[in-house]
Amino acid sequence: MMSSLSGSKTLFINFKQWLGDSIHSSFICWLIIGTKDGTLYVIDSIKMRSNLRQAKGIGRILDKEYFSNIQVLKVIPSDIDVLAV
């Protein structure tokens, strides 16, 4: 996945979230990433939870190279509530 995302300047990002009892107990179940060429990745965030948090895990790489990169356009559907914490 990371090699095919390399060089992408536009990412389509969606996620499905389990809200639990309150917004503070919520977590993301599925992370969906799409590219301009139509490639789609669905990441099971629950199954990969430990890998997403590791220093060299996929979550840190995605954050550093794409999510926090101001040169990459992130397209998020309007039905998603983006929370800033």
Each residue of 12-25: pLDDT tens digit? 988 777 666 655 55
Q: Residue 31's beta-bridge partner residues?
A: 15, 43
What distance in Å separates the CA atoms of residue 12 and residue 14, rounded to the nearest whole number?
A: 7
Minimum mean pLDDT range among 3-12, 25-34, 64-73: 25-34
SS3 at position 11: strand
SS3 content of the chain, % helix, strand, coil (to 5): 25, 30, 45
Instruction: Specify the pLDDT at position 23.
Output: 57
Reported residue count of the chain is 85
The predicted structure's pLDDT at residue 56:
67
Whole-prediction pTM: 0.65
What is the arithmetic mean of pLDDT over 77-82?
Answer: 64
